[in-house]
Structure 1
Amino acid sequence: MKNMKSEVFSWLKAILFALMIVFICQQFLFTPVTVKGESMEPTYENDDRIVVAKIGKPERFDMVVFYAPDAEENYIKRVIGLPGDSVEMKDDVLYINGKKYTEPYLNTKKGEIPPEENLTENFTLSDLLGKSKVPVGHLFVMGDNRRNSWDGRRFGFISEKSLVGKVKFRIYPLNEMGVPK
């Protein structure tokens, strides 16, 4: 009987220790997130499961999860503008600080519209948000499904403090498991 109590206690300690490790990792290192909505299609679909790293500074074109500035939920978007950047979209071409950037992650959506139409409307940060550059401590984000994305063009800059983390890995659906593109 004493051996059985000792064995049960040993198992309980191991399980408690494992739960503590999971809790610490989820609170401070990584957390699972379920994608909601269509704003990141085709990169991420509704109900995809991803893992977000809570450490590290976001870089341009990283996908991030953040507390929505205008809702009681989290959003996933792509970082387009970093602090100090000027951002302009002209004739479906992205310019950051005057430099032209290609956005290969938009090719699928661009292929779904007539060639004479733009996927993303023309804009400058000044036109949209009244500031010529992304403020210090903030980011400018947009979804990959530009015609169906509630993003920085609508709600403005996001605070870096509102970040949950950077998307690191897709875990579901299983046939698309892997590192983001």
Structure 2
Amino acid sequence: MSSVTESKKKSEWLEWVKAIIIAILIAFFLRTFIFATSIVEGESMDPTLQNGERVIFNKIIYILDEPERGDIVIIERPSKNYVKRIIGLPGETIEINGSSLYINGNKYEQTFLDEDAQRQTGNYGPTKIPEDSYFVMGDNRAISKDSRNGLGLIDENDIIGRSEFIIFPFDQWSLTR
């Protein structure tokens, strides 16, 4: 009778090992191809995202669809990743005069910014965005390193995902869209 019990225990143990291996493989697949996390470094996306917050970003969305104006994206660069908001799309002309943003000559209302942030944007352009490139800015325009002043226009291949959720700190859980 003890050999039946040992066989049952061994079988149960193997089932647990299989379940753990499958869970690890699924987590690896999701982390590699679907979702990942990124830490917001700096204050360039204030007040939307705060320094030190951890966000989950969707890595597969831009395989299935194109980036859209207003998306908060993760931009991969050799030294570090950046979190910025897409403002201009391929083929558009961007111009900024003081607090006013113009896309293809039409004033664009930046509903995601308060008036103070808009006033601190400065002047830029007009600049035509090449195909396969995007114009990005941080929401904290006064201090953001973005397409205006250091990052330049962003190649579509450098956009590795769209921010979806704030997951840390735990009391700050929310959507970023």
Q: TM over 0.5: same fold?
A: yes
- Which residues in structure 2 correspond to 1:62-81 (within 5 Å)? 62-68=71-77, 72-81=79-88
Counterpart code for 1:148: I
SS in 1 for 2:107: strand
- Number of positions where the alignment pairs a residue of Structure 1 with one of Structure 2: 167
Amino acid at match of 1:43: T
Helix, strand or coil at the partner of 1:26: helix
Question: Is residue 179 from structure 1 mapped to residue 175 from structure 2 by the alignment?
Answer: yes
1:143 paired with 2:150, answer no
Mapping for residues 28-177 of structure 1, pairs under 5 Å: 28-56=33-61, 57-68=66-77, 72-107=79-114, 110=116, 118-125=119-126, 132-154=127-149, 155-177=151-173
State the Cα distance separating 1:122 from its structure 2 match: 1.2
Aligned residue for 1:104, secondary structure, equals coil
Counterpart-to-counterpart distance in 2, 1:33 and 1:118: 29
- In 2, distance between residues paired with 1:105 and 1:169? 16
Identical aligned residues as a percent = 40
Cα distance in 1 between the residues matched to 2:10 and 2:54: 40
Distance (Å, rounded) in 2 between the aligned partners of 1:5 and 1:151? 58
1:21-61 CA distances to partner (integer Å, 9 max, x unpaired)? 11111111111111111110111011111111112321001
| Structure with the bigger percentage of strand | 2
For residues 134-175 of structure 1, the C-alpha deviation after alignment (integer angstroms, 9 at most, x for no partner) is 111111100011111111112211111011101111112223
User: Does the 8 Å contact 2:74/2:82 carry over to 1?
Assistant: yes
Q: State the alpha-carbon separation in 2 of the partners of residues 91 and 164 from structure 1.
A: 31
Q: Which runs of 5+ in 2 are unaligned?
A: 1-5
> Tell me, which stretches of 5 or more residues in structure 1 are unaligned?
112-116, 126-131
In the alignment, structure 1 residue 20 sits paired with structure 2 residue 16? no
Structure 1 segments, 4+ long, off by >3 Å, are none
- With structure 2 as the length reference, what TM-score do the two structures score? 0.88
In 1, the alpha carbon distance for the partners of 2:138 and 2:19 equals: 43
| TM-score (normalizing by structure 1) | 0.86
